[in-house]
């Protein structure tokens, strides 16, 4: 059994509820980890008290500076709107806390870089970016199969993330359309998940080309079509939309290799499709830590696994398996290249400032 970890949560919206649930469920799933839900922070006393009552947060405050500096807190979860990630997460790092920051890491590339740099300076502190799809057991199996070369050389990734929230303003969080609160639209919100998975499963992107469309002028993009060339020579094509009329939520990814293709769909989250020529089979992915074999898990399980990983890592002072701030930053570099490609109509290099500096010959 590891020592209990004191947690502060900033943000009381959809993700605030999800992280509250995941922290509790992690301790039920694995009694070796324990979270102490110390303080919840967000706008609106009613929402804070609602979350505190439902999940047992011991205190609530409107002041995130107060929340992140409490001595009984070791882990801060930042689940606010994108534009509020950077200030809260960097303050938490400054107070010596481990951090789980929602994606995208910052609203802009500069904010993501500043957070990555702060995490680097903090050294051994666990600073994770909430790319929860890495904790979907089916995708973790896909990664192991790719590493074992079960589909040969990876040649292409194809990803689709489709919602219909921009139509009739179905989105529970309209701030996502505001450039100042969200940074970007579907590129930072939806495509970022798949860009992280492309990096995780297939390799680092080297160039990006994109076309985007905003349904209303002055708002962030609602539709994005992105083509990536990877450093390995492989390619990826990503489609992200919140104006797909028939899709409440579809999130699909396929990885083509020289010997086969792996296929994942969030609507069949426990199944990995494997195709080799005329042969097509489905693996029912086992979940040894959960209920008896065959009982299906959902999207929420990825957040529970993520919470369990973090509580374990923070208690033991070791590195979590979760995506790091470096991963969050690398993803932001790709998003930025895609946004620049859409603005200019030209393919853009996926080049971060460190790469650019390293490329300058020293005199
Ligand atoms: N990992 C995922 O799959 C996933 C899914 C949805 C959202 N997200 C991310 O989670 C974040 C939150 O999204 P959401 O859907 O929960 O949004 P939401 O609108 O439901 O909630 C945002 C919350 O932030 C709070 N907030 C804003 N400014 C604050 C401040 N200064 N101090 C304290 N609280 C403040 C608001 O009160 C609100 O409770 C976003 O960055 C989003 O991209 C991730």
Residue 93: is its pLDDT beyond 70?
A: yes
> Is residue 363 over pLDDT 60?
no
* Cα-to-centroid distance, 16 and ligand 1 (Å): 7
Distance 19 CA to ligand 1 centre (A): 11
- Output the CA 81–ligand 1 centroid distance in Å: 4
Task: Say how far apart CA 154 and CA 255 lie, in whole Å.
Answer: 7
Q: Give the model confidence (pLDDT) of 34-68 as tens digits.
A: 999 999 999 999 999 999 999 999 999 999 999 99
Return the pLDDT at 125: 82
Q: What is the mean pLDDT of the chain?
A: 95
Residue 8 has a pLDDT of 98
Predicted confidence at residue 139, as pLDDT, reads 98
pLDDT over 80 (residue 170): no
pLDDT band, residue 171 (cuts 50/70/90): confident
Mutate to test the pocket of ligand 1, among 9, 22, 41, 79 (most ligand atoms within 8 A of CB): 79
Give the pLDDT mean for 131-155.
98
Evaluate the omega torsion of the peptide bond into residue 340 and state whether it is cis, within 30 degrees of 0: no
**Under 8 Å between Cβ of 349 and 359:** no
Residues with CB under 6 A from ligand 1: 10-16, 41-43, 64, 79-82, 84, 102-103, 130, 132, 172-173, 189
Query: In this model, does residue 169 exceed pLDDT 90?
Result: no
Overall pTM surpassing 0.75 (yes/no): yes
Ligand 1: residue whose CA is nearest its atom 31: 84
pLDDT of 356 reads 66
Q: What is the pLDDT of residue 46?
A: 96
pLDDT, position 270: 95
Q: Atom 24 in ligand 1: which residue has the minimum CA distance?
A: 80
Express each pLDDT in 29-39 by its tens digit. 999 999 999 99
Q: Which residue among 9, 10, 13, 328 has the greatest number of ligand 1 atoms within 8 angstroms of its CB, and so is best to mutate?
A: 13
Residues 321-355: tens digit of each pLDDT: 999 999 999 999 999 999 999 999 999 999 887 77
Distance 10 CA to ligand 1 centre (A): 8
Average pLDDT over residues 243-253: 97
Alpha helices in the chain, H assignment, sequence order: 14-29, 45-55, 64-68, 85-94, 109-122, 137-147, 179-182, 186, 192-201, 300-316, 325-344, 353-359
Q: In this model, does residue 362 exceed pLDDT 60?
A: no
Q: How far is CA 33 from CA 6, 154, 265, 315, 316, in A?
A: 12, 37, 30, 8, 10
Give strand pairing partners of 28: none
Stronger pLDDT, 356 or 224, i.e. the higher one: 224
| Res 361: pLDDT | 60
pLDDT above 90 for 358: no
Q: For the chain, what percent of residues have pLDDT higher than 70?
A: 97
pLDDT at residue 117, as a whole number: 96
> Which protein residue's CA is at the shortest distance from atom 3 of ligand 1?
132
Please give the Cα distance from 173 to 4 (Å, whole number).
33
Per-residue pLDDT tens for 289-322? 888 878 889 999 999 999 999 999 999 999 999 9
Q: Average pLDDT in the 136-151 region?
A: 97
Rounded to an integer, what distance in angstroms lies between the CA atom of residue 57 and that of residue 7? 9
How many angstroms separate the alpha carbon of residue 64 from the centre of ligand 1?
Answer: 14
Question: Could you tell me if 156 and 257 are in contact, meaning their C-beta atoms sit under 8 angstroms apart?
Answer: no
Mean pLDDT of 140-168: 97
């Amino acid at each position: 059994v590891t020592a209990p970890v004191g947690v502060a949560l900033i943000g009381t919206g959809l993700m605030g509820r999800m992280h509250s649930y995941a922290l509790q469920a992690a301790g039920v799933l694995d009694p070796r980890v324990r979270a102490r839900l110390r303080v919840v922070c967000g706008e609106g006393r009613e929402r804070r008290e609602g979350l505190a009552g439902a999940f047992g947060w011991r205190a609530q405050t409107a002041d995130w500076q107060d929340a992140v500096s409490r001595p009984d807190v070791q882990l801060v979860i930042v689940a606010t709107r994108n534009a509020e990630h950077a200030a809260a997460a960097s303050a938490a790092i400054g107070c010596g806390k481990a951090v789980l920051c929602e994606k995208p890491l910052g609203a802009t590339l500069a904010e993501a870089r500043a957070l990555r740099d702060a995490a680097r300076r903090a050294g051994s502190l666990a600073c994770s970016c909430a790319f929860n799809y890495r904790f979907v057991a089916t995708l973790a199996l896909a990664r192991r199969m790719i590493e074992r070369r079960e589909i040969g050389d990876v040649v292409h990734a194809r990803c689709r993330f489709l919602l219909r929230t921009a139509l009739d303003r179905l989105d529970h969080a309209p701030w996502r359309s505001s450039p100042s609160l969200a940074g970007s639209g579907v590129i930072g919100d939806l495509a970022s998940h798949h860009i992280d998975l492309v990096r995780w499963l297939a390799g680092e992107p080297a160039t990006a080309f994109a076309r985007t469309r905003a349904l209303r002028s002055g708002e962030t993009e609602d539709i994005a079509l992105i083509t990536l060339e990877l450093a390995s020579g492989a390619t990826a094509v990503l489609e992200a939309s919140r104006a797909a009329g028939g899709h409440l939520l579809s999130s699909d990814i396929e990885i083509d290799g020289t010997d086969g293709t792996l296929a994942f769909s969030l609507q069949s989250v426990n199944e990995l499709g494997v195709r080799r020529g005329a042969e097509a089979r489905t693996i029912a992915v086992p979940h040894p830590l959960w209920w008896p074999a065959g009982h299906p898990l959902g999207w929420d399980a990825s957040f529970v696994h993520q919470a369990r990983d973090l509580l374990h890592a923070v208690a033991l002072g070791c590195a979590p398996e979760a995506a790091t701030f470096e991963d969050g930053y690398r993803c932001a570099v790709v998003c930025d290249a895609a946004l620049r490609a859409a603005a200019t109509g030209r393919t853009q290099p996926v080049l971060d400032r460190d790469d650019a500096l390293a490329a300058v010959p020293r005199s």
